[in-house]
Amino acid sequence: VQGRRHAAANPLRAQRVARRAAAPASRTATVTKAVKVADHTDARQYIDTRHHAHIHNHREYEEMYQRSIEDPDGFWREIAMKEFHWETPVPEKHHNYNFDVRKGPIFTEWFKGGKTNIAYNCLDRHVKDGYGDQDCFLFEGNDVGRDGRMTYAEVLKEVCRVANWLRSVGVKKGDSVAIYMPMVCELPIAMLACARIGAVHSVVFGGFSSDALASRIEDCKARVVITCNAVKRGTKAIDLKKIADAGCNIAKDQGFNVEHVLVYANDDAQSKADTKMTAGRDLFWQDVIPQQKDEAEVEWMDSEDTLFYLYTSGSTGKPKGVLHTTGGFMVYSATTFKYVFAFQPGDVYWCTADCGWITGHSYLTYGPLLNRATQVVFEGVPTYPNPDRCWEVIDKYQVKQFYTAPTAIRSLMRSGDDWVKKHSRTSLRVLGSVGEPINPEAWKWYHEVVGDGRCPIVDTWWQTETAGHMITPLPAAWPEKPGSASLPFFGVKPVLVDDKNNVLEGEAEGMLCIGQSWPSNIRTVYGDHERYETTYFAPFPGYYFSGDGARRDKDGYYWITGRVDDVINVSGHRIGTAEVESALVAHPQCAEAAVVGYEHPVKGQGIWAYVTLLEGVEYDDKLKKELVMSVREQIGAFAAPDVIHWAPGLPKTRSGKIMRRVLRKIASFEEDQLGDTSTLADPGVVQTLLEMRGNMD
């Protein structure tokens, strides 16, 4: 990236990358039969889990899978009508879509004509059925001993109060509400309150900076922001309100006015008295919510009405507002949750994700409540006060399904087995993994040490854009292979494609695309339908392109090989290299920046930034810190580069394009595999970079 400009969007870039990834295809037919190989588990070993699973073997799966692909309309309508409340039933003809840019605009419709409300399905339905006294949220605070619980009836009442307050400040169906909160129960409650009245929530992860918050508020025009004064994470206290204020001010400077800020006082982290409030704009949750009526009318939504926007990074440009709608998201998140976690109503489930990411939407706020789960909401971090916090909490609440990210597994694994073995963990039935590829070593530790070999691992591959699990094992239904997400979920048709648009059959490696619409596929990029089409549908006409590469083995199992675009996955957080680069070049002394990912033992990938300075500027540690600070300020601490590599020049082709392949090899210490560098404008640059790397600390 040169100056402040982003590299121009190039949808075909991925295809070029394919040349690297694609292996020759064999001509055997695609099969999804059960495997008999050495390095896999035996589904029969999971006696307890099998007892609760909804699919017991590969044959049962295959039957349902075939029907879901051949008759998607009938398959999903049956589930929709059987498992959910529809105020207006789903008509027989309800599904239509186009994934082919050559045939016209891309669009998707599911359950069209049906009317429902997802918050009603999460809460009212269960209370009406007599489960009002069941625990809905088990709150576990950052500090040991700070905890609390809320029943379904209590959560419903609180959701209604917040819904009434939102209405009182003029929020209507279709209006955006930004939510910038830590993991307290009030975060999913705020989301459900929006859904109840048809407002569109846009949750911004609490780790994002004020700049990032401001651009998201502006993009979706959120007049109302719900936040929290402060939060403790481990030993750190974070003054969230201060960041939220700065975000609102930045938006204001750019001409967008936030009218109302609702502040949940997290008194454990900061008192109300210590929280700076802006008169006329800010109100404390505790001052206005309790006096609201605890019943609120439901807004019946058309299935295709918008439920939320969630911003996510791509390889170029600013983050995209991924838009999901009501009915498809509801049916798909709930159905995947039920099957993938062998879930039975009333089970205690725990997902460590934050609601600021899609996992927190589909598998914390919505999927579990739609299935009447009792769920742990954890404010803290897995390693505080000790690395056994997770195992302690699992025993405390008798958690049956535990869902976390490989980065957490790897970091806990490094603390040693003794921390795990101090706790019984006998309640566990299924262990889930999400967000990044799980390396076989971490997989085996999770399976053998955490699960004592009794619990299947569900390695779930999916994305913000897919909103629900796409390729995933079903517990105890077929053998698992460590490191493989295994087989597609119902309704999902994975397709591997090479750079020449050839569909690869049988054993093959290529670009991972999806061949037909499923209920919760991304509907559009908010405010930019053209970008939606270019990013996801133009690269391989007829298919949704995921941005990931994958290999299919002889048993039909899928192995995700990682992103093929310029997106880095750090601790399961998706970071666009272009965003980090533009944050670096925003520094007045930075001339040019190029960012690549490199293998990191705990985070999966780390961020390696090559930086060129303006003429005459000296390289020093102070400047290094300022550059890292620039990224923290513009994106957030989680995107801070791990390595700043001073570069007198960057390897470019004669047409001026940075050769990232070369930069990746240098960052991975694989300079013996640089490949062809004869097209470089100045091949000497590579040698200089290697020398500079040698001098780094």
Question: Would you please indicate which residues are annotated as catalytic (active-site) residues?
Answer: 565
296-315 residues in contact with ligand WT7 (CB under 6 A) are 312
Return d(Cα 569, Cα 435) in angstroms, integer. Answer: 8
The answer to whether residue 574 forms part of the interface with ligand WT7 (CB under 6 A) is: yes
| Binding region for ligand WT7 (CB under 6 A) out of 64-72, 104-112, 434-442, 580-588 | 434-442
Shortest distance (Å) from residue 562 CB to ligand WT7: 6
The per-residue b/e assignment along 123-137, b for 16 or more CB within 10 angstroms, e otherwise, is bbbbbeeebbebbbb
Structure tokens at 292: 């609201």
CA-wise closest residue to 637 among 592, 583, 599, 598: 583
Binding residues for ligand WT7, rule CB under 6 A, total 23
3-state secondary structure of 81: helix
| Using rule CB under 6 A, residue 576 touches ligand WT7 | no
Place of tokens 């990682």: 562
Secondary structure letter of residue 23 according to DSSP: B
Q: Which of 502, 527, 650 has the alpha carbon at shortest distance from 27?
A: 502
CA angle 453–456–462, rounded 5-degree value? 145
Rule CB under 6 A: choose which of 141, 360, 437, 636 binds ligand WT7: 437
Nearer to ligand WT7, 442 or 611 (CB): 442
Residue 113: helix, strand or coil by DSSP? Answer: coil
Q: Which of 197, 457 has the CB closer to ligand WT7?
A: 457
The DSSP line for 577-619 is HHHHHHHHHTSTTEEEEEEEEEEETTTEEEEEEEEEEPTTPPP
Binds ligand WT7 by CB under 6 A, chosen from 21, 412, 485, 662: 485
> Does 467 participate in binding ligand WT7 (rule CB under 6 A)?
no
Interface with ligand WT7 includes 660 (CB under 6 A)?
no
By CB under 6 A, residue 359 contacts ligand WT7: yes
Q: Least CB distance from residue 365 to ligand WT7, whole Å?
A: 14
Q: Is 435 in the site for ligand WT7 (CB under 6 A)?
A: yes
**In terms of CB distance, is 225 or 353 closer to ligand WT7?**
353
CB of 542 to ligand WT7, least distance (A): 20
Cβ 102 to ligand WT7, closest distance in Å? Answer: 25
CB of residue 574 vs ligand WT7: minimum separation in angstroms? Answer: 4
498 touches ligand WT7 (CB under 6 A): no
* 114 alpha-carbon distance from chain centroid: 28
Which of 434, 442, 525, 590 forms a contact with ligand WT7 (CB under 6 A)?
Answer: 434
Q: Does 463 bind ligand WT7 (CB under 6 A)?
A: yes
Q: Tell me the window of 112-120, 423-431, 461-469, 474-482 that interacts with ligand WT7 (CB under 6 A).
A: 461-469
Question: In Å, what is the CA distance from 410 to each residue of 383, 387, 423, 425?
Answer: 12, 12, 19, 18
SS3 126: helix
In whole angstroms, how close is the CB of 443 to ligand WT7 at the nearest point? 11
How many C-beta atoms surround the C-beta of residue 645 within 10 A? 18
Nearer to ligand WT7, 371 or 569 (CB): 569
CB closer to ligand WT7 out of 139 and 461: 461
Contact at 8 Å (CB) between 106 and 545? no
* Residue 601 Cβ vs ligand WT7, minimum distance, rounded to whole Å: 17
When asked if residue 461 is in the footprint of ligand WT7 (CB under 6 A), the reply is yes
Tokens, residue 39: 């390095």
Q: Report d(CA 452, CA 442) in Å as an integer.
A: 14
Stretch that binds ligand WT7, among 87-95, 291-299, 351-359, 575-583 (CB under 6 A): 351-359
| 514 is a site residue for ligand WT7 (CB under 6 A) | no
| DSSP assignment of 484-536 | --BSBPTT--EEEE-TTSPEE-SSEEEEEEE-S--TT---EETT-HHHHIIII
72 near ligand WT7, judged by CB under 6 A: no
Among the listed residues 560, 585, 611, 613, the single contact to ligand WT7 using CB under 6 A: 560
Between CA 480 and CA 610 the distance in angstroms is 40
Return d(Cα 580, Cα 315) in angstroms, integer: 11
Question: Closer CB to ligand WT7, residue 476 or residue 514?
Answer: 514
The whole-angstrom separation of Cα 637 and Cα 644 is 15
Interacting residues with ligand WT7 (CB under 6 A): 312, 357-359, 434-437, 459-464, 485, 546-548, 560, 562-563, 569, 574
